[in-house]
Homo-oligomer: A and B are copies of this chain.
Amino acid sequence: MINNNIQLDEQGRLKHFLSIEGLKRQQLVSILDAAETFANVQEQAVKKVPLLRGKTIVNLFFEASTRTRTTFELAAKRLSADVLNININTSATSKGESLLDMLHNLESMHCDMFIVRHNQSGAAHFIARHVSPHISVINAGDGCHSHPSQAMLDMFTIRRHKKEFANLKVVIVGDILHSRVARSQMHALTTLGVSEIRVVGPKTLIPAGINTFGVHVYHNMQEAIIDADVIIMLRLQKERMQGALLPSEDEYYHNYGLTEKKLSYARPDAIVMHPGPINRGVEIASSIADGPQSVILEQVTNGIAIRMAVMSQTLSPRTETTKTGSTV
C-alpha cells in the first residue's frame, strides 16, 4: 500500500509530486492555475523566468525516456534552474553502490529536486520517503502505477477547451491494465468532479478492481464513445506487455482504434487526446491524429507549463523559508 500523504508538508503544501491520489481538488486547481501563467511565459520571446535560479534539479532516470526527460529538462531550464541528467545504467551503481547511498550523495551535493523515472511501481514514493527534508521528488512515471504530471497536463488541456469539468463525459480507450497514465487520469478526473468517466478496452486489458474508481466499463467502443466530450486514447505499451494478452494490431485497430466512423458517435465538439508517442493506424487513424479535433500537440506544449508549475510549487515554500534565514 503506497502512502500518499508523504506528498504534503506539515502546512499541507505540496512538497513532493508523486501521484494524484491523496491530493485535494483545490491542490489540483492550484497547479492548473499556476500552469496558465507558465503557458504565457512560453509564448514570449524570452521563454525564461528566474524563479528557480541557483536550484539544482536532477533527472534521475532508471528507465530511458528521451521524451519525458526532455520536457522536464526544458521546464527546469525555463525556470533558470541548473539541470543534471543522470542515467542510472551508466552511473556509480555499476560500482556496487546502493540506491540510497547514491541518493544521499546527491543530497549532500545540495541538489534540490529529483525527477524520478523507474520501471517499478512505488519507486518515487520509496525515494521520497528516504530523502532529506530539503529535497523534492517528482514522479515522472513509475511502473504501472502513476504518471501524475501527464495526468495534470491532460487536465490542463481539457480545462482550456471545456472550461468546466463538472458535466463532462470522458472516455479512456485502450490498455487500462498497464497504463500508469490511465490510473492517474482517473484519479484526477474524479477529484476534479467529472460526472461520467468511461473506460473501454478488451477484457484482458481492463484491471479487475476497476470498479473502485467509480468508472463505467465498456468493451464495445462505439457504445462507450456516444456523446463523449473528451476521448483519451492510450498508447499500446507493447514494451510493457507480459504474455499474449493482445490480439493482432489489425484486430486491435478494428475494435479499439479511433476511426472517423467511431469518432462520429461522440459530440461534434469532442476533443481527442493521446499521451504520445502515437502508433498511427494502431490506436488512432492518422486523419484524426492530424485533424481538427486532435489536441495531441497542445498536450505536449501544456506538458512544459504543467511541469514548470509543479516544480515551482514544490520548491517554492522552502525557498521562502530559506530567504528568511533558516539553514537548509
Contacts and interface: CB of A to CB of B under 8 A. Distances in A.
What class of interface size applies to chain A in its complex with B?
Answer: 35 or more
A319 B44 CA distance: 10
Contacts of A30: none
Interface-centre pick from A67, A90, A98, A304 (highest chain B CB count, 10 A): A67
A66 B47 contact: no
A95 B282 CA distance: 13
Interface string A35-56: 0000000111111100001111
Interface-centre pick from A45, A64, A276 (highest chain B CB count, 10 A): A45
Contacts of A300: 105, 108-109
A40 to B, nearest CB: 11
A95 B277 contact: yes
B304 A110 contact: yes
Interface in A223-272: 239
A277 B101 contact: yes
A144 B327 CA distance: 39
A96 interface: yes
A47 B55 contact: yes
Interface string A75-113: 001100010101000111001111001101111111100
Contact of A297 (B43, B108, B298): B108
B48 A64 contact: no
A29 interface: no
A35 to B, nearest CB: 14
A323 interface: yes
Contacts of A204: none
Nearest to A68: B92
Contact of A48 (B54, B74, B91): B54
A47 B81 CA distance: 10
Contacts of A42: 110
A313 interface: no
Given A53-B46, A97-B278, A110-B304, A82 B92 contact: no
Contacts of A70: 84, 86, 106, 109
A67 B103 CA distance: 11
Interface in A6-51: 42-48
Contacts of A298: 108
Given A95-B239, A110-B301, A323-B45, A101 B276 contact: yes
A-B pairs with the 7 shortest C-beta distances?
A46-B54, A97-B277, A108-B300, A66-B91, A45-B322, A48-B54, A108-B297
5 contacts: A45-B54, A47-B110, A66-B90, A70-B86, A105-B277
Given A45-B54, A54-B78, 19 more contacts: A45-B319, A45-B322, A45-B328, A47-B56, A47-B110, A48-B53, A66-B91, A67-B91, A70-B109, A73-B84, A74-B111, A77-B82, A97-B277, A101-B276, A105-B297, A105-B300, A108-B300, A108-B301, A110-B304
